[in-house]
Structure 1
């Protein structure tokens, strides 16, 4: 029996409603996990460990996080260099906005990236190029995280104990699957499948959108923009973007080292710090549907830190400390976002959104 247009439209609305509720479901799961961690741990020990970090320690975390976000912003700018009129400063500003939205608003951890692509068009960057640059930037970011997590898993494999061996093996198997998915995603971007999908989406839109006077639609351009970003003449830009994202992950290790040193665990070595940061970030990334990794980040730190004899109170204090830069930098970023939107609205011609 053929499916009618009303049936397809109804299924589309249901799917859209489900997708909109996924971040809410993730938030509920994260809150439950966070509540369980609070209930099963000594809050006094967490408070004491957090207090030992001190104002100077937290200030150091904020400065290191600024450096990490700037590195990510420069990595994004390198992808756009020579392709758009937007200055590098636009990517730096919007990178903070992307991070602020991802860590402070109840959206999946990619919500800020989607909005970042839209905001980039405020600098006269074509929408297709803005979307392509964010897709490429996200792919490089996830790929470098996978490499970082692989290094962490390899180092963890050298640690004695069945728990460490099991976690190392589980991480290795997960990274193999993630690597295959990343390779497939990159191949889809390079083989023109995105162009086919664009055509299908455009055709679907023309089927359900009724206009009094049909008007010609521009040919989808995202595939062409992706080809430009990944083009062979720009391999130097890609390598620089990869290096900058890798540097940003290493800044996370500096954050962990600062907190542990302040909390009285200065004897923890470099390899242990790398394992703690790499695997906790991998666990958080795997739960990207949970806004800001609420509860997941805390559980990840408790799990990984426990392998090195670090008590759960210190592990939770470490997670809380790493959330301080989220708030300190995220709130101004949200204000910048709203100012950009307000300025855009004031400059838009009458009758246009």
Structure 2
């Protein structure tokens, strides 16, 4: 655990250093001027980000069987928790999903189902992100832009496909057998209890995957979620006085997220997002200072939507702690 924390903090520090270095290289004064030029547009970028998170929340919510589905408001609030933890904490870009699964149990959702829902939601997010990147790659080729960048993007997508297939196989088949074999090597009550929880998890995973209608609805909503993010690029560059076309915004947004996906181990993809945007924007003649301004405005959106999410997390944890203390003080056995 200490190694994970140390690695996360080290990655965070390196990312911050890269971000500062790229800002200085791009011209700190010019970057500041570009950000100032956006002005009120920053508010619109934040609203777009809130919209994408809300659509993603609905995409998560529809995965649940109707009889076991939590309130939509619960998935909405926990989606912001997941976004905030993934973007702002040194947990990599998956820690927030684990937190979201835990908090979902506070709302009465059984632990295995809560975990299964997040696992499937992450898979759907990854699949639709790959489709979004593929869309951006196709548009990049259609625009006749730099072929070397297209080949690099294509190679990255080709490498991502086996990982997605492997993730799906673990959920559908291989995972249950692998965990069963491992736990079968041990004896004792703890192994039996863990085995029962793992079996229940895979039962819930199978049930979520079995509904084609719910999976299809989630896929459509999450793809719409990625498409909505194009608005951030359009708004930011329009207010900077360097408007881009819808096709150009699509390429920039989709391939930027592909780069963020590769840099999943770096908290918030610090440095990777900035470097990627400089390269992507250069394809369309956008100078580095404006690319950096776009990235920093996106960081503002991370904060504006992530901090409330972290506040919701702490409020829910605090409330849970107070409830447990009250039960302990009354001498009533905890449920």
State the TM-score, normalized to the length of structure 1.
0.87
Q: Which residue of 2 aligns with 1:40?
A: 25
Out of 17, 28, 32, the position equivalent to 2:13 is: 28
Unaligned runs of 5+ in 1: 1-15
Out of 212, 225, 228, the position equivalent to 1:235 is: 212
How much does 1:200 deviate? 4.9
- Name the CA distance, whole Å, in 2 between partners of 1:286 and 1:215: 36
Quickly say closer, same or farther: Cα 1:227–1:169, change in 2 above 3 A: same
Task: Give the secondary-structure state (helix, strand or coil) at the position aligned to 1:157.
Answer: helix
How much does 1:75 deviate? 0.5
Task: Give the secondary-structure state (helix, strand or coil) at the position aligned to 1:40.
Answer: helix
Quickly say closer, same or farther: Cα 1:297–1:239, change in 2 above 3 A: same
- Name the CA distance, whole Å, in 2 between partners of 1:110 and 1:206: 31
Q: Deviations for 1:183-203, whole angstroms, at most 9, x for unmatched residues?
A: 121122111x22234435645
Quickly say closer, same or farther: Cα 1:52–1:339, change in 2 above 3 A: same
How much does 1:160 deviate? 4.3
Which piece of structure 1 moves more, 321-330 or 81-90?
A: 81-90
Q: Which residue of 1 aligns with 2:284?
A: 308
Q: Which residue of 2 aligns with 1:12?
A: none
Q: Which residue of 2 aligns with 1:225?
A: 204
8 Å Cα contact 2:170/2:176 also seen in 1? no
8 Å Cα contact 1:80/1:229 also seen in 2? yes
- Name the CA distance, whole Å, in 2 between partners of 1:303 and 1:208: 55
- Name the CA distance, whole Å, in 2 between partners of 1:51 and 1:270: 23
Q: Does 1:113 align with 2:90?
A: no
8 Å Cα contact 2:252/2:277 also seen in 1? yes
- Name the CA distance, whole Å, in 1 between partners of 2:223 and 2:93: 19
Q: Which residue of 2 aligns with 1:333?
A: 309
Quickly say closer, same or farther: Cα 1:139–1:35, change in 2 above 3 A: same
- Name the CA distance, whole Å, in 1 between partners of 2:239 and 2:106: 43
Q: Does 1:142 align with 2:126?
A: yes
Q: Does 1:195 align with 2:179?
A: no
Out of 210, 217, 228, the position equivalent to 1:251 is: 228
Q: Which residue of 1 aligns with 2:162?
A: 180
Q: Deviations for 1:63-113, whole angstroms, at most 9, x for unmatched residues?
A: 111111010000110011425252121111100110111111121010000
Out of 269, 289, 297, the position equivalent to 2:245 is: 269
- Name the CA distance, whole Å, in 2 between partners of 1:62 and 1:226: 34
Q: How many residues get paired?
A: 328
Quickly say closer, same or farther: Cα 1:230–1:59, change in 2 above 3 A: same
- Name the CA distance, whole Å, in 1 between partners of 2:62 and 2:130: 21
Q: Which residue of 1 aligns with 2:294?
A: 318
8 Å Cα contact 2:136/2:254 also seen in 1? yes
Q: Does 1:166 align with 2:148?
A: yes
RMSD: 2.3
- Name the CA distance, whole Å, in 2 between partners of 1:338 and 1:250: 31
Task: Give the secondary-structure state (helix, strand or coil) at the position aligned to 1:151.
Answer: helix
Structure with the higher helix share, 1 or 2: 2
Out of 129, 136, 140, the position equivalent to 1:156 is: 140
Unaligned runs of 5+ in 2: none
- Name the CA distance, whole Å, in 2 between partners of 1:143 and 1:341: 31
Task: Give the secondary-structure state (helix, strand or coil) at the position aligned to 2:293.
Answer: helix
- Name the CA distance, whole Å, in 1 between partners of 2:264 and 2:166: 19
Which piece of structure 1 moves more, 174-183 or 23-32?
A: 23-32
Task: Give the secondary-structure state (helix, strand or coil) at the position aligned to 1:102.
Answer: helix
